[in-house]
Amino acid sequence: MAVTLADVAARARVSTATVSRVLNGNYPVAESTRVRVLRAVADLEYVVNGPASALAAATSDLVGILVNDIADPFFGIIASAVQAEMSRGTERRTGDVTGTRTGDIGTSRTGAGAHTDAAGRIPARGHRLVPTDEKLAVVCNTGGSPERELTYLTLLQRQRAAAVVMTGGAVEDPGHMAAVTAGLARLAAAGTRVVLCGRPPVRPESAAPAPVTLAFDNRGGARRLTEHLITLGHRNIGYVAGPDGRTTTRHRLEGHRAALVAHGVPDPAHRTVHGAYDRAAGYDAALELLRRDAALTSIVAANDTAALGVCAALRDRGLRIPGDISVAGFDDLPFSADAAPALTTVRLPLREAGARAGRLVMGHETPPPGGVATIRAELMVRESTSVPYS
């Protein structure tokens, strides 16, 4: 038979209201009473009824993290950091169940017969009390599908999610953007915290608050990367862009082109090829760029994974990096520094951004002014770029 709140109250010799206050942490309770309640919870192995609590409250214990592809290190790092920070924040506020005592050092009794050790702690009895503010993180893999993105937002709303983190670029279809904005507004109106991480801000038309946004400086980072190549002396620069219709693709391409314009470097259309953010697409795009323009001295890829494909294609063609063609990427994923040669790229602080998103959705950090923070991208110069040799 399931243990009830009344059973815990009887064991601790308090009212059910007091037990609720201790478990919810929303009302001051005497320390000795709190200890008795928590010991009764541990002894009886009482588990808070999540669905019932969700019905009584505005939200559940669920946090949804929407990613394009969890197998992509870009999204995996962010999602992992969000979840780690959620747990870390809870641990910072949850210590051992302890009793306060004074007197001689040794075994004593606190409260209703609770044994303590020499330090005054109530020993654990094989049952870990789950903190009442612990959340269940669920990663929702959209696969880049706009339809799946909307479906997950609807499902999370049905589950009364406590928070939602949306990661990565947005699809630039007006109808889809309007649908996502409306979905986020419904979540916010229901009490769900919403954070956009690596995604442009949205402005709901309704009175619902706009989601907190941690936006990456994709334009600025891409511009600094291309300016690095121009400074080295490159003028024939190919570009492997991401898929059409994505904000990240557009912003990085705009930064690249802004650098070319600022320095008077030609930018004919044939020097840009679009593709997916994966190795195979980078490989195919590099071969296509070489077919279109044999005079290229450098190739910039819109992310590091595609850049690895570019490097593989060049090696298969017998070309040296950077001796014949320089190569650069974007994101500074973990493998970038270990590539051969080490990849020049733009570092986005993915882990730090994910951790900050985790603190924001848990309410452990104050939102930035205006609800939007731009996270700067840092140029990382390594061995894959050099002055053009021919």
Question: Quick check: 106 pLDDT over 60?
Answer: no
Give the model's pLDDT for residue 204: 77
Mean pLDDT for 138-164 is 94
For residue 96, the model assigns a pLDDT of 46
Q: Cα 161 to the chain's mean position, in Å?
A: 17
Residue 241 CA to residue 277 CA, distance in Å, equals: 8
| Residue 338 DSSP label | G
Mean pLDDT over 178-207 rounds to 89
Predicted local distance difference test score (pLDDT) of residue 5: 85
Q: What is the per-residue pLDDT for 87?
A: 85
**How far is 287 from 118, CA to CA, in rounded Å?**
72
pLDDT band at 154, cuts 50/70/90? very high
Note the pLDDT tens digit of each residue in 295-341. 999 999 999 999 999 999 999 999 999 999 999 999 999 999 999 99
Phi, psi (deg, nearest 5) at residue 129:
-75, 120
Nearest residue to 344 via CA among 321, 371, 367, 362: 321
152 pLDDT above the threshold of 80:
yes
Strand 108-110 to 114-116 pairing: antiparallel
pLDDT digits (tens, 9 = 90+) for 239-273: 999 999 999 999 999 999 999 999 999 999 999 99
Confidence of residue 109 (pLDDT cuts 50, 70, 90): very low
d(CA 300, CA 238): 6
Q: Using alpha carbons, select from 252, 236, 334 the residue that is nearest to residue 294.
A: 236
Query: 253 burial class (0-12, 13-18, 19+ CB within 10 angstroms)?
Result: buried
Supply the pLDDT for residue 209: 79
Q: What is the per-residue pLDDT for 121?
A: 46
For strands 378-380 and 345-347, give the pairing: antiparallel
- Omega before 146 within 30 of 0, i.e. cis: no
Q: Compute the Cα dihedral for 322, 270, 307, 282 and give only its sign.
A: negative
62-67/136-141 β-pairing: parallel
* Separation between Cα atoms, residue 359 and residue 135, nearest integer Å: 12
pLDDT at 113 over 80: no
pLDDT at 50 over 70: no
Which positions ≥6 away from 24 have C-beta within 8 Å?
132
Q: Is the pTM of the predicted complex or chain greater than 0.85?
A: no
Q: What is the pLDDT of residue 37?
A: 84
At 97, the pLDDT band (50, 70, 90 cuts) reads: very low
Identify the pLDDT of residue 206: 67
| Residue count (the chain) | 390
